[in-house]
Chains A and B, each alone.
Chain A
């Protein structure tokens, strides 16, 4: 299995984050220079992206080419390209490494997007805790600007694109794209009601393309090597490679960029296998908000959107949390629920009131003070939150509760039976 073919392709070289390495060793900014010179039709580039079946890497998995085709490209006035590097889902740490080790590829991806969409300004929004990656991006943007790859009239092409890095203040909700836009505008990070979607009404009410770091970083490689190459690396409906952030009870936790469709058991092996040789109990395959999958199902599952969907969960941002047989599932759920209680923005009633209710009730069960009725209540409250709010945070809080109780009911029962 070939690793690091797309977003991490700079990793094999020394000083991977530098412009020198990216240009000379990796062969970066080739596509950007070619576009500036040849001015290909944006429609063709979008077609290429559609063909590659690049799906949004931030978690929702929406086809990127399709999303970009919705943007009113010919509208006059400012349009924006925004990179969502907020990466706040517990268990996710892939964008951090793109920004630390291959920031220029993200910049090139955003530049290409700006060309396709006719935008002249871009923002890269990193989460509040990402000071080091933010600094790496600042350095990279400065390098690119100095090399004339960003700015106005880039390389004499008449194309303008200015890019700014921006650091958030540490709110999970600002990873939700419309909350991110609000935060970028200097407001409180409240998700907006959709429609309208950012493609039509985005930053400052202008057409905006907002994509995940990994999605942007994949674009130069797709356009360089061709949509067919990318698609063939992955599966038919999940093109390319995916970085999986493997954490938990494994010997070598870390980021692994593997082709889509890699079997979970191979990924586990890459991560050095189970810690201390203990048995796998369960995996959360896409970050804390997606349903947990028990070991037996997970060991049969491949790592792509469809297969994980069939296993009853979601690929999400590719954050694989591995839990061994010693794990107390109630305790894990209590921690997850507490997180969502802390991070609910408070805008919609079901989420504002429900996250706290869930968290306190799970804690009650954890501390042996629950009753069997509390388990029914947990499921009922979760169902009442799912799909009833402006953004998906309520679903993110509800899905772990439902899946943990569904798959590990006995552990909960043991605590509520006196």
Chain B
């Protein structure tokens, strides 16, 4: 490294062979103006703004595409360089509308900024300006194509990052325009990034449009709470209201990108079903009360149940995306009361090998290392929709030549091509994985850096333990890294702080092992404590969960939002502040423990969940609670249990049998994954949100039922029937029906990979 020296603007700097001039200049903080160059995209060299003078070159050269050579002398602000840059600036501005006052990009526009330095006051161009018709490309992105300066960053983003060529440059010369060609939505789950990379106001944030000016907002660093990547975010806030979210750069995690889910979920924060006041139900009527009354009511309710039925009659469920601090105080409070039925694994169906788990489930590798692997096996992972930024790394690996393999319940479109993609009948992933294990393809056998990842659809499979032990065998045979990709943003934190029934914080076995998430719903409890859980959406068997809630004597919800059902079954709802209104830590799939601070104060009377559990503990007269004065105290207590990722060895087999007959395949779809996302209106308007509705079956199943797309079918699970419309989808295997979880219409149904009856309506 640093084997070469070049001179930029009189400063001698070290550089590496193969680097471009602009990379070296950026590192040295020498600012060269640019539009088309983006460090995470391929080089186009078409905007010509970065022209610089290079000694001995006959004409100015683009810094973005000029490789350095030893002894090179570059002048970025010499008369020749400046003249060239100013000339390009003039060309860029002749057809650009001077509508900055009404343009959403105004104030954060690269063209505006650079024209301050390189543009003239008065234009020499006095002819008609080009205008281009706008396109409706869906609910997330607003287009104003007259402002486009044809840098093609958005086109390259589609080609290289999202893997979907959704935009292109049509026509020639001055008539060039960026377009979807035929009128269509932009559907990539990473699409919002083109708003950030667009240097002008051609592509802007549609739901944010005309809401705020950049100089009115303050920005706060935070962490995305929807998946185990832990993308770094900047939250823009004006007068204590979140206005928008943009990525914060972190090359080790999300590079310069974020998923649309992380960008648009904040629109949920101000929906009418947000709870901002403590609420108690008295004589079947909800009352908004002060904290003291609500807490008193809570303690009384819980203690009544405990006195009457014992601690075992209480079940406690936490979401998979809480902070370490929330988790810690949640279990601290419950365990102090002797409640051991504590879990966060809401979707899981097989707990038989839980004692063999390492301190916490993790990916076994890092995002950056995945890019370098030469073979990847995905087992039960719809990675593209589950963890879009992890998918991005897999996509890069595939672009680098890695061979891709999968065993999935559905032939998901993951963009990259699979060497082998097994989609077993009846969702029998064990059979599929066995097949792969018995006939290991050559490309996998010969791989030197293979990675095996088990995704949510494997983790939540009724035979998850067997899948893990089979994956272990495969990993041992080919020398692969084996990793688990968990749901939620902080499953790691939940494990480490003991939000599982069989372990106390720090992997200590619990002396009184409680019941897991499934058992505590199957085995009706008299009281439930919920932390940001909406059981009728979030649990594996939603129909059963709803019934358990409805039949309980006392339900305490420490939640950010309410649901219609919750207003029926809950007795107390305490307003928990969402992720952007609290501080804390979350641990991602590669084991980074990331700290973030509240962007804005909690809305109304909401409080961070850890404070709610602290005061509840205080009211329950738990002596030691006094030591948790501040969030730092809580973290300090939790921190000693936060360990480095630990290797696991999976050998146990599941006690459950393989699913047989017609089986329901279900996943938490990308925009139904958690309470926040489910309420984000812009996301709910996307194709990704709507296309998962209905009962999806393949052609063979459809012809067996004599139904066609759009026909009504009656499906039943848990003795509950619902009517759905048919979607014929040949990505499904025989004997499977895909009916998504997390959707209101499907809440009375049962679990995934369980038998389902389907008949013509």
- A193 surroundings in chain B (CB, below 8 A): 43-45, 62, 65
Q: Least Cβ distance of B52 to chain A in Å? A: 12
Residues 30-45 of B, flagged 1 when their CB comes within 8 A of A and 0 if not, give 0000000000000111
State whether A350 touches B175 (Cβ < 8 A).
no
State whether B87 touches A353 (Cβ < 8 A).
no
State whether A354 touches B91 (Cβ < 8 A).
yes
Q: Least Cβ distance of A361 to chain B in Å? A: 8
Interface residue A343 (Cβ < 8 Å from any Cβ of B): yes
Knowing A193-B45, A360-B127 touch, does A388 contact B60 (C-beta < 8 A)? yes
- A357 surroundings in chain B (CB, below 8 A): 91, 94, 125, 127
Knowing A360-B127, A384-B91, A387-B59 touch, does A349 contact B176 (C-beta < 8 A)? no
Identify the closest chain A residue to B128 (Cβ).
Answer: A360
State whether B174 touches A388 (Cβ < 8 A).
no
Knowing A193-B65, A349-B49 touch, does A341 contact B173 (C-beta < 8 A)? yes
Residue among B47, B48, B173, B176 making CB contact with A343, cutoff 8 Å: B173
Knowing A193-B65, A377-B124 touch, does A388 contact B87 (C-beta < 8 A)? yes
Interface residue B109 (Cβ < 8 Å from any Cβ of A): no
Q: Least Cβ distance of A59 to chain B in Å? A: 19
Q: Least Cβ distance of A147 to chain B in Å? A: 41
A357 to B149 CA separation, bound complex (whole angstroms): 16
Grouping DSSP codes into helix (H, G, I), strand (E, B) and loop, the B interface class, with mixed when no group exceeds half, is loop
A348 to B87 CA separation, bound complex (whole angstroms): 13
Grouping DSSP codes into helix (H, G, I), strand (E, B) and loop, the A interface class, with mixed when no group exceeds half, is helix
Residues 371-411 of A, flagged 1 when their CB comes within 8 A of B and 0 if not, give 00000010000001001111000000000000000000000
State whether A349 touches B47 (Cβ < 8 A).
yes
Please give the number of chain A residues whose Cβ is less than 8 angstroms from any Cβ of chain B in the complex: 29
Interface residue A352 (Cβ < 8 Å from any Cβ of B): yes
State whether B90 touches A384 (Cβ < 8 A).
yes
Interface residue A71 (Cβ < 8 Å from any Cβ of B): no
Knowing A360-B127, A377-B124, A388-B48 touch, does A353 contact B174 (C-beta < 8 A)? yes
A354 to B93 CA separation, bound complex (whole angstroms): 11
State whether A348 touches B169 (Cβ < 8 A).
no
State whether B46 touches A347 (Cβ < 8 A).
yes
Q: Least Cβ distance of A124 to chain B in Å? A: 24
State whether B92 touches A349 (Cβ < 8 A).
yes
State whether B46 touches A341 (Cβ < 8 A).
no
Knowing A193-B65, A360-B127 touch, does A388 contact B172 (C-beta < 8 A)? no
- B60 surroundings in chain A (CB, below 8 A): 387-388
Knowing A388-B60, A390-B45 touch, does A188 contact B91 (C-beta < 8 A)? no
Residues 52-65 of B, flagged 1 when their CB comes within 8 A of A and 0 if not, give 00000011101001
Interface residue A18 (Cβ < 8 Å from any Cβ of B): no
State whether B173 touches A355 (Cβ < 8 A).
yes
Knowing A193-B43, A387-B59 touch, does A346 contact B150 (C-beta < 8 A)? yes
- B87 surroundings in chain A (CB, below 8 A): 350, 384, 388
Interface residue A313 (Cβ < 8 Å from any Cβ of B): no
A154 to B417 CA separation, bound complex (whole angstroms): 38
State whether A346 touches B176 (Cβ < 8 A).
yes
Knowing A346-B150, A350-B48, A353-B95 touch, does A388 contact B59 (C-beta < 8 A)? yes
- A377 surroundings in chain B (CB, below 8 A): 124
A390 to B149 CA separation, bound complex (whole angstroms): 17
State whether B51 touches A388 (Cβ < 8 A).
yes
A183 to B523 CA separation, bound complex (whole angstroms): 67
Residues 68-89 of B, flagged 1 when their CB comes within 8 A of A and 0 if not, give 0000000000000000100110
State whether A350 touches B88 (Cβ < 8 A).
yes
- B46 surroundings in chain A (CB, below 8 A): 347-349, 390
Residue among B51, B59, B168, B174 making CB contact with A341, cutoff 8 Å: B174
- B125 surroundings in chain A (CB, below 8 A): 357
Q: Least Cβ distance of A344 to chain B in Å? A: 4
A389 to B48 CA separation, bound complex (whole angstroms): 7
State whether A348 touches B174 (Cβ < 8 A).
no
State whether B92 touches A353 (Cβ < 8 A).
yes
A306 to B195 CA separation, bound complex (whole angstroms): 52
- A345 surroundings in chain B (CB, below 8 A): 172-173
Identify the closest chain B residue to A384 (Cβ).
Answer: B87
State whether A352 touches B88 (Cβ < 8 A).
no
Interface residue B171 (Cβ < 8 Å from any Cβ of A): yes
Residue among A346, A349, A360, A384 making CB contact with B172, cutoff 8 Å: A346
Q: Least Cβ distance of A398 to chain B in Å? A: 12
- A151 surroundings in chain B (CB, below 8 A): none
Q: Least Cβ distance of A128 to chain B in Å? A: 14
Most A CB contacts (10 A, CB to CB) among B59, B84, B124, B173 go to: B173
- B169 surroundings in chain A (CB, below 8 A): 188, 346
Residues 232-256 of A, flagged 1 when their CB comes within 8 A of B and 0 if not, give 0000000000000000000000000
| Contacts A/B (CB < 8 Å), 12 sampled | A344-B173, A346-B174, A347-B46, A350-B88, A352-B176, A353-B174, A355-B173, A357-B127, A360-B127, A384-B90, A388-B48, A388-B60
Q: Which 3 A-B pairs rank lowest in CB-CB distance, beginning with the nearest?
A: A346-B176, A384-B87, A344-B173
| B residues with CB within 8 A of A | 43-49, 51, 58-60, 62, 65, 84, 87-88, 90-92, 94-95, 124-125, 127, 149-150, 168-169, 171-176
| A residues with CB within 8 A of B | 171, 173, 188, 193, 341-357, 360-361, 377, 384, 387-390
